Amino acid sequence: MAANERIKVTIRCKRCGDRFVLKGRQDKGRIDTGFKQCVCSNEKDFIIETKCF
């Protein structure tokens, strides 16, 4: 198993419903996308789905 997996991350904002599809990396269970916040200033209410390539 690779230490650094490339994944597709779908982030849905629970406040405004906006959706972001990002490419990220999963490193030892930690997801790294560089995503900071939604356009509505929401920083933590998200539904996050990940998919391996």
In the complex, the residues that contact Zn ion under the rule CB under 5 A are 13, 15-16, 18, 38, 40, 42
Q: Is there a contact between 46 and 35 (Cβ–Cβ < 8 Å)? A: no
Rounded CA separation 23/51 (Å): 10
Minimum CB distance to Zn ion smaller for 6 or for 15 = 15
Minimum CB distance to Zn ion smaller for 13 or for 48 = 13
Minimum CB distance to Zn ion smaller for 26 or for 46 = 46
State the burial class of residue 50 (Cβ atoms within 10 Å of its Cβ: 0-12, 13-18, 19+).
middle
Residue 2 beta carbon to Zn ion: minimum distance, rounded to whole angstroms: 32
